[in-house]
A and B are shown apart, each in its own frame.
Chain A
Amino acid sequence: MNIAQFLTIFISAVFLYNVILSRFLGLCSFIAISKETKPALAMSLAVCFVTTMSSIITWLIYRFLLVPFHLTYLRTISFILVIATFVQFVEMVIRKISPPLYRFFGIYLPLITVNCAVLGVAVLNIDMFFVNGKSLPGSFYYSVFQGICVGLGYTLAMLLMSGIRERLELCHVPKSLKDFPLGFIIASIMSLSFFGFNGFRF
């Protein structure tokens, strides 16, 4: 476990392999919710929280349940169920203890269950930090950190996109390109600019 490894994870998750612009995870929510900044921010914060927590939970499940009992082939089923349950549980807790926060998140929290970014980061952690079913030293911290960074990358792309799209409201756009198609073309240009970070490599 060293600082350089953390830095590499940070840069590759936020910039190089940005979860939306390079890995294409969570694209549906990215295009659908990025029309205004406030909902975009709510969604991003919710995603950040869930990716972090699900990284912790799925690592624990994989390390202490699936590996010792040779059940690693149940990875997909167990992860998706645990994530769905967890999101449901968080929604109930937030509704109970903080109604304003619940209103802020609105429908975005339940939507996260089917957000591929969350399952994606869980699977990615396992692929990257487990070799032949054995966890690498420090893999727990790396996994959690990667969960946080993927959430940050999502937030960055989401905020940039919503800022651009708010301005586009005032422009004249060809009728056929409105909404979805234009969103993808903007995302393409953003992705190209993120590609410039490739020079960052250590």
Chain B
Amino acid sequence: MKKYIAEFLKGIIKENPTFVLALGLCPTLAVSVSVINGIGMGIAATFVLLGSNIIIALLKNIIPERVRIPCYIVVIATFVTITELVMKAYSPALNRALGIYVPLIVVNCIVLGRAEAYASKHSVADSLFDGLGMGVGFTLALILISGIREFLGTGKFLGYTLIKGFEPAFIFAMPSGALLVIGLLLGFFNLLKNRKEAKAK
């Protein structure tokens, strides 16, 4: 059991897909205008990661080595289609807000990266917890980025005004604000890492 918890936790901090592995940044930046969108995208990606990791771990002995990437893509695309249909049926507003970024989960490097680097070599249970951990790590990163952007860009958090009289900086709601926030956050996490390494010496 301990092993599974470790598998789960590594995706959240030590190997966080967004800040440490720097994978799947396109949707992260595009949908992080508001926290609600960020959470929606995070859940959708987590579902796809979980599903594709399980199926690929199950099929790892059947899929021929040479055509493995197309096989992975078909599995991933199937789960993305399921997500898309479910989202269209139950939450059309979210589907409209996320727009073309829902079908684009297919080419999100996190999903294919985990399939290739992890699920194709490990057992089903391991892959399940790996997918879950990576998904949650991705969601938390999205919440962090979209939280910063929503607060600074509109003065709100989850749609509620936090500080009265706060003058929002519109740049954070624009695409360039997303790039700025992710650049500074990556720099900040690098700084923490460098400090830790310096201390270890």
Chain B positions within 8 Å of A116 at CB level: 26, 104, 107-108
B119 within 8 A of A: no
B186–A180 touching, CB < 8 Å: yes
B180–A188 touching, CB < 8 Å: yes
B194–A185 touching, CB < 8 Å: no
Contact of B179 among A23, A28, A184 (CB under 8 A): A184
A27–B29 touching, CB < 8 Å: yes
Q: Do most interface residues of chain A lie in helix, strand or loop, or is the interface mixed?
A: helix
A22 within 8 A of B: yes
Chain B positions within 8 Å of A174 at CB level: 187
B26–A81 touching, CB < 8 Å: no
A180 CB to nearest chain B CB (Å)? 6
B41 within 8 A of A: no
Query: Assuming the A-B contacts A24-B26, A26-B26, A177-B190, are A123 and B70 also in contact, with contact meaning beta carbons closer than 8 angstroms in the complex?
Result: no
Chain B positions within 8 Å of A80 at CB level: 73, 77, 106-107
Give the distance in Å from the alpha carbon of A182 to the alpha carbon of B184 in the complex.
8
A176 within 8 A of B: yes
A184–B30 touching, CB < 8 Å: no
Interface residues on B, range: 35 or more
Chain A positions within 8 Å of B178 at CB level: 24, 188
Chain B positions within 8 Å of A69 at CB level: none
Chain A positions within 8 Å of B188 at CB level: 176
Query: Assuming the A-B contacts A84-B70, A114-B112, A123-B103, are A21 and B183 also in contact, with contact meaning beta carbons closer than 8 angstroms in the complex?
Result: no
Interface residues on A, range: 35 or more
Question: 29 A-B Cβ contacts within 8 A?
Answer: A21-B175, A27-B25, A27-B26, A73-B84, A76-B80, A76-B103, A77-B78, A80-B73, A80-B77, A84-B73, A114-B109, A116-B26, A123-B100, A127-B99, A174-B187, A176-B187, A178-B190, A180-B22, A180-B183, A181-B184, A182-B183, A182-B187, A184-B182, A188-B179, A189-B176, A191-B174, A191-B176, A192-B174, A195-B175
Task: Give me the interface of A with B, judged by CB distance under 8 Å.
Answer: 21-28, 31, 73-77, 80-81, 84-85, 114-116, 119-120, 123-124, 127, 174-178, 180-185, 187-192, 195
